[in-house]
Structure 1
């Protein structure tokens, strides 16, 4: 989806640089076309893509400029960030959205070709890294990352999911280059490989882990939030376009902020709209984009995210995908500051609220929140036929997960959910009397 494989990156970046005139200058001088590159199924970029497009806010704000031009927006949907970067450096896309690692490749390619781009805003993020997950087959006997030694693992080299895999393996003493067999695959290919048994595990980014778990095609093996390192998605714009058309970029960022407000105010409705546009189950969209989902949405370029971006450079360099990248020169939040005015400071300093247990009832456009996972289980036990989705935060990382897919631990009166068996076992080992129980037993204890 938003990340790219090494092979695809190389192939797309070798495209000839034809049509170098900026697409925003297309037309007869009065009629202007703005070209936006987005990824419909990369659901943490929806406020700059799928949702924004459906809401029509950008077109509305362009029409309100009254600058003598008639604007048309050309929305171009891509499967990964690589073709967006190729088209941007060819002058054919003005604004694009993608994940953090592709953003770095975007920065590197733009500088290399003398056509610089800049990170101008953020879409969805998780300050602990929970957007990336390592999963394994539902019937797998693997219970922790240590079990991956000597195994086959699918990922997309050059993606944040690969970065999560590399860092996590190194923490448990496994050399990701020598101790595992890493297959460089697109997410859909890796998902098929996992289902067929040709790989033992899959490390991928939103929304693949949640989707596969929801479809009973995978179970979580490692929660990226255990790294406690931010991962995010953002908006990049061509420098020449931004300088020639600052009012247009300002209108886009203002519209993105409004789409963000809409998503945050109407999370269930927004999830339904994104699901309809992408074909993804709304329950999976809500897991990531919900009121207290794995992703937080705001357009501010937070210092924590910039710091994480700098740390990501070393992963790309180790994979020989890029050399040094000047992250500070790539980041440019002047346009989003102007677009949002005084509210930008609020976005910049706001801390994401911790996830809470939630139930989405069938036929409802709202969710019900609970103070504890035990209370949620008690409710689910009494209304099982009416539940569309039940979500609980991991007791240690806070990562939201499907209640029926979580690993449950009983500890006295507490019923605690965990995304993975390893984190659940770590808790049990540290707390005498605690033990892992099935979801069915957890429901019974709660009721």
Structure 2
């Protein structure tokens, strides 16, 4: 079996990341006479599907306002701690240094397992961003790469973050393609930024990562999509976890956080462009890349309700982590606790949110200087608009004709099928469509624009 390229096996690397840290932080503790309470929130600013529990929430000041409104005679202080991945948040939580944290589905399971192992249990209390098909994770290659399918990865070096949802996508996708993830590729266990550099330098042939890295690299012209995670048709999501003893000790504080998260969610839905700009300003990410995931038709749907489909997906994810020796069995039902978010939203609103589904994918154009985007009913209509306004289009987005995953129009693989112009995230998906539709063929983006106009 091939060893993960970190100098130590993958399981040992993950365990090292999860060791309790002694860095500064704070339990939701009272100072002196108990009049001042400090709450520590761990988040990932550049993992933009957690923004409603992190970057955007912090920018709006919603949590602090909810705490001020408690009116219990205490003064509350919020410490925001930013991390690149979920592993150090888990380490800090189990050390009692972080009270509330947000992370992706696979790290959430490790969070649950670690808390259970140490006798310091944590609970999944809400969801941030999700995609019911799995479109939040993407495998990309260098712009000039000759790789066009997953089978081409045999014998290649692939960078990912072991224990992340992106790693889970890589493992599942390779297995479906008939490849052994442990034997047929050389997996490089790297943080997203390191993996992006490895791809650019040529020391990695492909990169499997979570948001916003694939879209960011594609936007910058540093990568092109090889595999759309939505082809797995398995839900992936990010969520909020809290230490059980914190939740029991400070239920009003946790409820205040979840109310604030709901407010941030509603703000994102009603002001998607402004929200993208706020997140971009706080993270340094291009707003166009943020909007790809968090926009009105973005890849992610945001809602704090804990959907049954997401809980079912968590249970399926356990086997992937067990095979990688990153966890043992995880009691998902014990980990999931929706009582707090139900109370924060109220039973009627919670039921209403559960009943609402993700929006039907549609194309969007973001005009230069505009605070709203333009929606288009068909890719052809969108292309026609872009062709006529080339100098005033900030970004254009189109949904994959097979999976619905939103992608940049100028980075998509285009297919002409009669008079229809169809976009796809990855070449393999486009070729699969062409193979099943006589007369259809792959064309360039410029050719698509010309045909539309």
What's the TM-score once normalised by structure 1's chain length? 0.97
| Mapped contact 2:26–2:40 kept (Cα < 8 A) | no
d(CA) in 1 for partners of 2:303 and 2:99?
21
> Per the alignment, do residues 170 and 56 of structure 1 end up closer, same or farther by CA in structure 2, a change over 3 Å counting?
same
Query: Distance between the aligned counterparts of 1:323 and 1:181, measured in 2?
Result: 24
- 1:178: how far off? 0.9
The equivalent position to 1:412 in structure 2, one of 411, 415, 418, is 418
RMSD: 1.4
1:220 counterpart SS class: strand
Q: Quote how far apart the aligned CAs of 1:66 are.
A: 0.8
Q: In the alignment, is the contact (CA less than 8 A) between 2:21 and 2:92 conserved in 1?
A: no
Deviation by residue 1:218-241 (Cα, 9 ceiling, x = unmatched): 100000000000100000001111
Give the equivalent residue in structure 2 for 1:354. 360
Distance, in Å, in 1 between the alignment partners of 2:213 and 2:349 is: 33
Aligned match for 2:299, one of 291, 294, 298? 294
Show CA shifts across 1:317-370 (max 9, x none).
Answer: 111111000000000000000000020001112110121000000000000000
CA distance in 2 between counterparts of 1:41 and 1:439 reads 29
Give the counterpart of 1:271 among 276, 295, 301.
Answer: 276
Is 1:194 the counterpart of 2:191? The answer is: no
**Aligned residue among 296, 317, 328 for 1:323:** 328
> Match of 2:253?
248
In the superposition, relative to structure 1, how do residues 410 and 246 fare at CA in structure 2: closer, same or farther (>3 Å)?
A: same
Alpha-carbon separation, structure 2, partners of 1:359 and 1:366: 9
Give the whole-Å Cα distance in 1 for the aligned partners of 2:67 and 2:194: 39
| CA–CA separation in structure 1 for the residues paired with 2:279 and 2:26 | 33
Q: Is the 8 A contact 2:25 2:98 kept in 1?
A: no
Change (3 A) 1:394 1:18: closer
The answer to which of 191-200 and 436-445 deviates more is: 191-200
Q: Which residue of 1 aligns with 2:221?
A: 216
User: For 1:391, what is the secondary structure of its paired residue?
Assistant: strand
For 1:382 and 1:187, the matched residues in 2 are separated by 37
Gaps of 5+ in 2: 1-9
Equivalent position of 1:339 in the other structure: 344
* CA distance in structure 2 between the partners assigned to 1:47 and 1:293 by the alignment: 14
Deviation of 1:13 after TM superposition, in Å, equals 2.3
- Alignment correspondent of 1:375: 381
Tell me how far apart the structure 2 counterparts of residues 407 and 42 of structure 1 sit (CA, whole Å): 26
**Displacement of 1:20 after TM fit?**
11
Shift of 1:19: 9.3
Asked if structure 2 preserves the Cα contact closer than 8 Å seen for 1:24 and 1:94, the reply is no
Q: What is the match of residue 42 of structure 1? A: 47
Any conservation in 2 of the 1:43–1:289 contact (CA below 8 Å)?
A: yes
Q: Distance in 1 between matches of 2:190 and 2:21?
A: 25
Q: 1 CA distance for matches of 2:173 and 2:21? A: 38
User: Which of residues 100, 109, 113 in structure 2 aligns to 1:95?
Assistant: 100
The corresponding residue for 2:428 is 422
Evaluate the alpha carbon distance shift between residue 27 and residue 84 of structure 1 in structure 2; reply closer, same or farther with a 3 A threshold: farther
What's the CA shift for 1:182?
Answer: 1.2
Secondary structure, counterpart of 2:29 in structure 1 = helix
- Distance apart, 1:24 and its partner CA: 3.2
1:149 aligned partner: 154
Mapped partners of 1:45, 1:123: distance in 2: 5
Deviations 1:417-447 (A, max 9, x none): 0001111011111111111100000000000
Is the aligned partner of 1:68 residue 2:86? no
Q: Which residue of 1 is the match for residue 33 of structure 2?
A: 28
2:86 is matched with 81
Q: Deviations over 1:53-95 (max 9, x none)?
A: 1111111111111111111111111111111111111111111
The count of corresponding residues between Structure 1 and Structure 2 is 443
1:141-160 deviations in Å (ceiling 9; x for gaps): 11110111111111111111
Aligned counterparts of 2:49 and 2:179: Cα–Cα separation in 1: 30
What residue number does 1:397 align with? 403
Deviations 1:125-151 (A, max 9, x none): 100000000001111111110111111
- Is 1:445 the counterpart of 2:451? The answer is yes
Alignment partner, residue 17 of structure 2: 12
1:163 maps to which residue?
Answer: 168
Matched, 1:230 2:239: no
